[in-house]
Amino acid sequence: MAFRAEINIMPLKELLDPKGKAVANNMKSLNLGSIKDVRIGKHIHLEIQAATNEEARELTDAACKKLLANPIMESYSFEVFEI
């Protein structure tokens, strides 16, 4: 079966997000001063061949832990859909 994983990776809330801070600081010059906090992360799509949804979830979790996310600096969440 084919599955698609949608993964969101974000910097940990305890850590400074310099990209997000730079974007937030520039909001004022664009007349968007009501936007006060910006955090920038990554969104990743994976296509997976697996026998079950649970196996696809396990593969996605392993990919996040081993390669896609740095657990010292980032958190991740994902959803898996059959395609």
Q: Would you state the pLDDT for residue 36?
A: 85
Domain encompassing residue 50: 2-82
For position 21, which CATH number holds?
3.30.1280.10
Interval 21-65: pLDDT, tens: 999 999 989 999 899 889 999 999 999 999 999 999 999 999 999
In this predicted structure, the answer to whether residue 4 has a pLDDT above a threshold of 90 is yes
H/E stretch holding 2 reads strand 2-11
Confidence of residue 17 (pLDDT cuts 50, 70, 90): very high
Q: How many domains does the chain have?
A: 1
**DSSP-assigned letters across all residues of 3-56:** EEEEEEEEE-TTS--HHHHHHHHHHGGGT-TT-------EEEEEEEE-SSHHHH
